[in-house]
């Protein structure tokens, strides 16, 4: 299975020592962009404000070479950061189903994933488990993220539709 192209829009809003995007880039796992104009035109933008949940229907576009793009910004500035890139990109927004963060900043919080956790979760859900594990390997919390979320990630990955993924969230987490 080919590797999924991964891109990061980096807005340089977080502590550089805690920045998972820069570390992924240093390890050759992602292309890092400080300008939205260089981001691929076809793919998915991981957007925690999107109304469309990532699901098996999204595998088709990825299978023909589309990219996964994450916006690396501060959670405190997520709204203004999304506004900054709105209308500039034609990427389709997708929200991830509920998962637990394992990163030291947001450990145990549902949905407060770091960039590396969001990318790894997306890859795992879309059937690219080896690439997900490879991206997480350089991070101390990487294996913990996968073990904390093993059951939901497996369930989301075998779901037949985005509606099923949406319904599965409540089996694992206290979400609507």
Q: What is the pLDDT of residues 139-160, one digit of tens each?
A: 999 999 999 999 999 999 999 9
| Residue 78 lies inside a defined structural domain of this protein | yes
Residues 6+ apart with CB under 8 A from 2: none
| Residue 100 lies inside a defined structural domain of this protein | yes
Question: With pLDDT > 70 as the criterion, what percentage of the chain qualifies?
Answer: 83
* Contact (Cβ atoms closer than 8 angstroms) between residue 9 and residue 39: yes
Round to whole Å and give the CA distance between 117 and 103. Answer: 8
Round to whole Å and give the CA distance between 37 and 21. Answer: 18
| Residue 106 lies inside a defined structural domain of this protein | yes
Burial class (CB in 10 A: 0-12, 13-18, 19+), 105: middle
Span 91-113, average pLDDT: 91
Round to whole Å and give the CA distance between 171 and 91. Answer: 30
| Residue 73 lies inside a defined structural domain of this protein | yes
Work out the pLDDT band at 50, boundaries 50, 70, 90. Answer: confident
Span 21-36, average pLDDT: 84
| Residue 60 lies inside a defined structural domain of this protein | yes
Count of alpha carbons within 13 Å of 114, Cβ hemisphere only?
Answer: 26
Span 27-56, average pLDDT: 85
Round to whole Å and give the CA distance between 80 and 71. Answer: 12
pTM over 0.75: yes
Q: CA-CA-CA-CA torsion for 127, 148, 161, 75, nearest 10 degrees?
A: -100
pLDDT computed for residue 26 by the predictor: 87
Give the SS3 label for residue 73: coil
Count of structural domains, the chain: 1
Span 51-68, average pLDDT: 93
User: Phi and psi dihedrals of 48, rounded to 5?
Assistant: -65, -10
Work out the pLDDT band at 47, boundaries 50, 70, 90. Answer: confident
* Contact (Cβ atoms closer than 8 angstroms) between residue 69 and residue 4: no
* Residue span of the structural domain in which 42 resides: 6-172
- For β-strands 67-72 and 6-10, DSSP reports them as parallel
Span 32-53, average pLDDT: 82
Nearest to 69 by CA among 4, 9, 27, 12: 9
Work out the pLDDT band at 6, boundaries 50, 70, 90. Answer: very high
| Residue 43 lies inside a defined structural domain of this protein | yes
Q: Which of 35-39, 73-77, 144-148, 157-161 has the lowest mean pLDDT?
A: 73-77
| Residue 141 lies inside a defined structural domain of this protein | yes
Beta bridge partners of 33: 9
pLDDT computed for residue 143 by the predictor: 94
| Residue 1 lies inside a defined structural domain of this protein | no
């Amino acid at each position: 299975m080919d590797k999924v192209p991964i891109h990061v829009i980096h807005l340089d809003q977080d502590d550089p020592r805690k920045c998972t995007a820069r570390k992924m880039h240093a390890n050759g796992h992602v292309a890092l962009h400080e300008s939205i104009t260089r981001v691929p035109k076809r793919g998915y933008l991981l957007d925690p404000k999107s109304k469309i949940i990532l699901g098996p229907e999204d595998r088709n576009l990825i299978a023909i070479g589309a990219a996964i793009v994450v916006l690396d910004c501060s959670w405190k500035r997520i709204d203004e950061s999304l506004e900054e890139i709105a209308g500039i990109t034609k990427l389709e927004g997708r929200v991830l189903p509920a998962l637990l963060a394992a990163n030291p900043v947001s450990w145990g919080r549902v949905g407060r994933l770091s960039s590396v956790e969001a990318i790894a979760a997306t890859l795992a859900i879309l059937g690219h488990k080896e690439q997900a594990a490879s991206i997480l390997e350089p991070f101390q919390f990487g294996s913990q993220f996968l073990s904390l979320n093993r059951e939901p990630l497996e369930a989301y990955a075998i779901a037949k539709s985005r509606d099923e993924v949406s319904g599965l969230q409540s089996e694992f987490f206290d979400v609507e």
